[in-house]
Amino acid sequence: MDTGWLYDFLALIETGSFTQAATYRNCSQAAFSRRIQNLESWVGSQLVDRSVYPMKLTAAGEKFHHKTLSLTAALEDARGDAGQGELYQQVRVALTYSLAADRFPHWWAQWVSGADIRCATLVGNVLETTSLFTAGQADFLISYWHPLYPGSELDQTLYDKVVISRVVLRPYANRMIRLPGTSKQPVPLLHYTEPSYFAKVVRHIWDTANQPYHHQVIMTSEMTATLARAAQHGLGVAWLTDSHVKHLAGPALIPVDLSAEMLEHDGIASSPWSESLDVVVHKAYANRRQPVQQIWQAMKAVAV
- pLDDT above 90 as % of the chain: 51
Pinpoint the residues of the chain covered by CATH 1.10.10.10.
1-83
Q: Cα dist. 255→130, 148, 179, 237, 267 in Å?
A: 31, 24, 11, 9, 16
Pinpoint the residues of the chain covered by CATH 3.40.190.10.
167-277
Top-confidence residue, 69 or 57: 57
d(CA 142, CA 189): 28
CATH number for the 167-277 domain, one of 3.40.190.10, 1.10.10.60, 3.40.50.720, 3.30.1360.230?
A: 3.40.190.10
Q: pTM here?
A: 0.73
Q: Which amino acid is at 253?
A: L
pLDDT for position 51: 85
The single-letter DSSP state of residue 215 is: E
The model's pLDDT over 88-126, given as tens digits with 9 standing for 90+, comes to: 689 999 999 889 988 899 999 999 998 899 999 999 888
In this structure, are residues 243 and 165 in contact, taking their beta carbons and an 8 Å threshold? yes
Taking the CA atoms of 54, 60, 62 and 66 in sequence, report the sign of the dihedral they define: negative
User: Is residue 82 pLDDT above 70, yes or no?
Assistant: no
User: Is residue 54 pLDDT above 80, yes or no?
Assistant: no
1-83 carries CATH number 3.40.190.80: no
The model's pLDDT over 232-274, given as tens digits with 9 standing for 90+, comes to: 999 999 999 999 999 898 999 999 987 644 534 444 556 889 9
As a residue count, the chain comes to 304
CA nearest neighbour of 215 among 240, 241, 190: 190
The model's pLDDT over 118-148, given as tens digits with 9 standing for 90+, comes to: 999 999 888 888 888 887 889 999 999 988 8
